[in-house]
Amino acid sequence: MSRKISIKQAINEALDQEMARDPAVICMGEDIVGGTGADGEKDAWGGVLGVTKGLYAKYGDRLMDTPLSESAYIGAAIGAAACGMRPVAELMFIDFMGVCFDQIYNQAAKFRYMFGGKAETPVVIRAMVGAGFRAAAQHSQMLTPLFTHIPGLKVVCPSTPYDTKGLLIQAIRDNDPVIFCEHKALYGIEGEVPEGSYTIPLGEANVVREGKHCSIVTYGLMVHRSLEAAATLAKEGVEVEIVDLRSLSPLDMDTVLDSVTKTSRLVCVDEASPRCNIATDISAQVAMNAFSALKAQIEMVTPPHTPVPFSPALEDLYIPSAAQIAAAVRKTVKGGKA
């Protein structure tokens, strides 16, 4: 049975079903229960935005509120993973990764390799990414490229409730550390999601719209902005194909290259800062592996190379818009060879 639920509900449902299935799955994070040790309501918050609300009643101490000590508890999740548990740690905002980055990129990411393949670290670190919440420079970043840069980490950033549930369940079952990026501006969007458990493999992109004139390769919130742009462009007779990467590491370049080979034009859209991001990486790989298929220059749409501003007037200018994406498509469609 399928019904419409939000991304927030999809995350809750994935955690619920995996905790029910596997007693090794535990959750920890700041306020993921809320009110621990206080005299009022238990499960008072269920996460800062209520994503884990209700799970405490079912699983009790398998959900743990933590002190505000990101290095200690993210490290504890990693250590527990190396000792047979399947922890899901919530870091609230990905911007806080700086506090505990060593545990992620020097410890979790490297155990399997450094220890000659004799260690597994099945930990999922969930964190909110992205702008649009008027949350300013330290609570709004799209830091996905920091993690795709690190060998040993897997990085996921879904755009729909269906993908969120299937990818989170897969991430929990994966034996490598997974950074699971949840776009806070998408928490409320609804979509069809099966009630039962299912998985989506990491490293499989999804063609969310077919078209023949230009490929847009993107992920997260930008999938939705690209769909808006595609609707506008369709009225102009330009049919855009949109590839939602879903997983950023592993990265499904096959689907990207197939699409570019079909459309001969490429626009990469990325909410991350413009230098050394997912868009530049995709562009480089397409230029290297499908240069002859391209009929025009590759275009990129990203925010400016600035911190995320607070003022709504500025933040709206910062986040790539459907209009900017449409303009980039028009530019490459007009450019190059016929």
Partner 1 sequence: MTNPFPLSKEELLECYRTMRTIREFEERLHVDFSRGDIPGFVHLYAGEEAAATGIMKHLNSGDRIASTHRGHGHCISKGVDVVAMMKEIYGKKGGTGNGKGGSMHIADLSMGMMGANGILGAGAPLICGAALAAKFRNQGEVAISFVGDGASNQGTFLESLNLAAVWNLPALFVVENNGYAESTARDYATAVDSYVDRAAGFGMPGITVDGTDFFAVYEAAGEIVQRAREGGGPSLLECKMVRFYGHFEGDAQTYRATGELDDIRANHDCLKKFGAQVSAAGVISAAELQAIDQQVLAAIENAVKEAKAAPLPTLADLTTDVYVSY
Q: Binding to partner 1 by residue 34, rule CB under 8 A? A: no
Where in 118-137 is the site for partner 1 (CB under 8 A)?
A: 118-119
Select from 4, 22, 98, 113 the one that contacts partner 1 (CB under 8 A). Answer: 113
State in angstroms the smallest separation of the CB of 39 from partner 1. Answer: 18
> E-assigned strands of the chain?
2-6, 25-29, 63-65, 86-93, 124-129, 154-156, 178-183, 190-194, 206-209, 214-218, 240-244, 247-249, 266-269, 299-301
Q: Does 291 bind partner 1 (CB under 8 A)?
A: no
Stretch that binds partner 1, among 11-19, 103-111, 130-138, 329-337 (CB under 8 A): 103-111
Beta-bridge partner residues of 244? 206, 218
- Nearest 5°: the CA angle 51, 165, 256 is 125
Q: Is 145 in the site for partner 1 (CB under 8 A)?
A: no
Which residue lies nearer to partner 1 by CB, 154 or 265?
154
Interface with partner 1 includes 26 (CB under 8 A)?
Answer: yes
- Residue 197 makes CB contacts below 8 A (sequence gap 6+) with 17, 18, 21, 169
Counting Cβ atoms within 10 Å, is residue 243 exposed (0-12), middle (13-18) or buried (19+)?
A: buried
- Per rule CB under 8 A, is residue 307 in the interface with partner 1? no
Question: Toward partner 1, which CB reaches closer, 7 or 19?
Answer: 19
Alpha-carbon 314 to chain mean position: 24
Which residue of 6, 12, 103, 140 would you call a contact of partner 1, by CB under 8 A? 103
**3-state SS, residue 326:** helix
Among 3-11, 147-155, 238-246, 269-277, the segment contacting partner 1 (CB under 8 A): 147-155
Single out the residue of 301, 190, 156 nearest to residue 240, CA to CA.
301
Q: Are strands 124-129 and 86-93 parallel, antiparallel or unpaired?
A: parallel
244 HSE (CA, 13 A, CB side) = 22
77 binds partner 1 (CB under 8 A): yes
Q: What residue ranges in 16-71 does DSSP mark as E strands?
A: 25-29, 63-65
Q: How many of the chain's residues bind partner 1 (CB under 8 A)?
A: 45
Q: Which residues of 281-291 are buried (b: 16+ CB within 10 A; e: fewer)?
A: bbbeebeeebe
Q: Say if CB 91 and CB 29 are below 8 A apart.
A: yes
Query: What is d(CA 226, CA 216) in angstroms, rounded to the nearest whole number?
Result: 7
Identify which range of 2-10, 102-110, 135-143, 300-308 contacts partner 1 by CB under 8 A: 102-110
- Provide the total of helices (H) and of strands (E) in the chain, helices listed first: 12, 14
Please indicate whether residue 139 is annotated as part of the active site. yes
Name which position in 106, 297, 306, 311 contacts partner 1 (CB under 8 A): 106
> What is the nearest approach in angstroms of partner 1 to the Cβ of residue 67?
6
Among 11, 76, 171, 326, binds partner 1 (CB under 8 A): 76
Can you tell me which of 12, 17, 66, 218 binds partner 1, judged by CB under 8 A? 66
45 near partner 1 (CB under 8 A) = no
CB of 78 to partner 1, least distance (A): 6
Question: Residues 1, 38, 83, 338: which binds partner 1 (CB under 8 A)?
Answer: 83
Which of 139, 213, 224, 305 is labelled catalytic?
139
Report, as residue numbers or ranges, the catalytic residues.
139
The residue ranges that bind partner 1 (CB under 8 A) are 26, 64, 66-67, 69, 71-85, 87, 102-103, 106-107, 110-119, 151-152, 154, 176, 203, 249-251, 253, 285
